[in-house]
Structure 1
Amino acid sequence: MKFGSFTFQPQKPMGFDFHVFRVKPETGLRLKPMQDMHSNIAVFADTHTGKEHPDWISQSPLGLAKFGNNNFNLYWSVICATQPEYREDQLKYIADVDRQSQGIWLNSQYFAEHGHCTCPRCQKLYKKSGLSWLEWRRKEVTDYIAQIRDVVKKDLVLSIQPDPVSSLERYGVNFDDFAKYADVFNVVMFSKNYATPWYWEMLARGFKKILKKPFYISLYVYGPGDAPQDVPTTQELLTVTARCARSGADGFLYLTDGEKEIVDFQKEAIEKRELREKLRTYGGKEVQEALDKIAEWEKIVK
């Protein structure tokens, strides 16, 4: 069982086995990688590039993959997954970041959503392939991941949406294909409310059953611009950690803007001793390991 911090700032809070820095979030902003941190890169989600090249934004019968299109509820723009100049640029960028950090964590390394992409280039490539629509999208995604694997010399972690059933239809993602190239999976279970942990545990159990590589779960603590009333409570976070730990998850990441928000979460977590003792009754080895890691925060957080 491993714990990781997942931050928008290049900061390393104590009490974690590793640290992941969002060097290129979905805004498209590129920050300097840190030699002692892993680097998270949003591949095709890139609002900045979408503004510079609006014709590169992924297309569908329901409109563009951009903020404001409520058919997809996106908060950023997503570039077409076959855009050749962008793909080449990202390969070079990923290779460069890999050289400057502990390893690469990718997200948005697939098509934007169901129905994407129907730009003229994608339609031409699809027809030329002779494959079904779903198989063509799958091949495009997997072939690009293979190219990324060739340039990443350190660990490669592939983030996936919390959908163990229809990721192929939605994103062109086949988990067995990804397992050939990923060292670890990261199941992104971001939510501003974990009041019903049963749902998250159910998803975690689904991924435990089907993934052929170890997997971590990323939980949302406190993002940029958030207010305290808008984020999960510490009780919810501790409970969902325990519930998902007993599913067999190999570790957890906690997303915050920076170190301050992580430390605030740690302080509240160690104060909830009664809750943590109750959670110890929730399961066996994995639950105890997760709660032991949280208990260790008592030694470092004042």
Structure 2
Amino acid sequence: MYGVVTRNAEEVEGDVFDRGFYEVKDVTGRASSPLPNAVNMVSCFGDTAAANSDPELVPVDAEGNLATRDQTYFDWAYICPTNEEYRTGLLEIVEDCAAENEDVRLDDVGFPREEYCRCDRCERLFEESDHDDRMAWRAEVVTEFVAEAAERIPGRTYLTLYPDPYPGHLYRRAGLDVEALAEYVDEFVVPLYDVDYGTTYWLETIAKGFETLLAPLDTPFSIELYAVDVDVDALIHATEVASEYGKSVFFGYDASNATAALRRMNADSQSGVTHRPGDAE
């Protein structure tokens, strides 16, 4: 199955796509009304606008560093997953999405990095918890949020995973316990983005890693590729690699380029031709 991920309502349906994902709330904080003909996506704890308007929402490490774009390793600002008021607002957005389409995708779920969060609220909640292990407490916080969201999703619950399948990394980095989350998630989505896919050995390596990581679970995973201005032949090759591992392949943010790639693939399958990057036209 192939799908498209988009911010444009007119792109969620197409003759080559089996499913359209529509960003209702993205990491900038931009919000749109959910659509009835798309899987509506919610960026949960990535929200630069909210962070800019209220720095008290932002996770902080032990050194006092806020999880914002001021740090070289963050592309957007984060919100602390223990903020109840913000979580309540997210769950209301999830409910609004589910009212339009029964399937919902949760993006940017979890803590920003291993060293977060050390805000006063997190310190208090950890001390009040039954956990001696801070990582286990963080994972419980995240899993409880996903469980609450899934309760509001009558259809399929999708959850995006950070693209690091190395054992223990998702757990330590973001508080994502995939085994616990699998109870509430119907399908994981792994974004494997590149601006040209000039090589794909890394894509296959990461995809194989997720295949191994998730093999003990009953929850499938799909792979999302970046499609913006990517050479069509290169995108086709990346799609072929991703298809060997993921249940489905989704294309991010360029429906026209993805359409061109899929139509070329369909034509090639009928003629027995396979295109590779660098092949002559």
TM-score normalized by the length of structure 2: 0.88
Q: Is the 8 A contact 2:102 2:153 kept in 1?
A: no
1:267 to 260, 268, 274: 260
Q: Is the 8 A contact 1:13 1:263 kept in 2?
A: no
- Deviation for aligned residue 1:271: 5.2
Q: Which residue of 2 aligns with 1:200?
A: 203
1:66 is matched with 68
Corresponding residue for residue 221 of structure 1: 227
1:106 paired to 2:106: yes
Percent of aligned pairs sharing the same letter: 24
Partner residue, 2:24: 23
SS of residue paired to 2:81: coil
1:234 is the counterpart of 2:237? no
Q: TM-score, normalised by structure 1?
A: 0.82
Question: Counterpart of 1:141 in 2: which secondary structure?
Answer: helix
Q: Which letter maps to 1:100? A: E
2:3 maps to 1:10: no
Question: What are the residue-to-residue correspondences of 1:246-285 with 2, within 5 Å?
Answer: 246=244, 248-256=245-253, 261-267=254-260, 270=263, 277-278=273-274
Distance 1:232 1:267 in 2: 11
Q: Does residue 123 of structure 2 align to residue 123 of structure 1?
A: yes
SS at 2:52 equivalent:
helix
User: Residue 83 of structure 1: CA displacement?
Assistant: 0.7
Following the alignment from structure 2 to structure 1, what is the Cα–Cα distance between the partners of residues 109 and 264? Answer: 39
Q: Secondary structure of 1:157's partner?
A: strand
User: Which amino acid is the alignment partner of residue 149 of structure 2?
Assistant: I
**Cα distance, 1:48 vs structure 2:** 1.5
The structure richer in helix per residue is: 1
Aligned residues of 1:39 and 1:102 also touching (Cα < 8 A): no
- Please report how far the alpha carbon of residue 158 of structure 1 lies from its aligned counterpart in structure 2 after TM superposition: 0.6
User: Is 1:156 matched up with 2:157?
Assistant: yes
Query: How far off is 1:274 after superposition?
Result: 7.2
Residues in 2 aligned to 1:271 and 1:157: alpha-carbon distance in whole angstroms:
28
Structure 1 residues 146 and 112 mapped into 2: Cα distance closer, same or farther (>3 Å)?
A: same
CA contact (8 A) 1:161 1:189 kept: no
1:244 equivalent in alignment to 2:242: yes
**Residues 74-85 of structure 1: matches in 2 within 5 Å?**
74-85=74-85
Number of residues paired by the alignment? 264
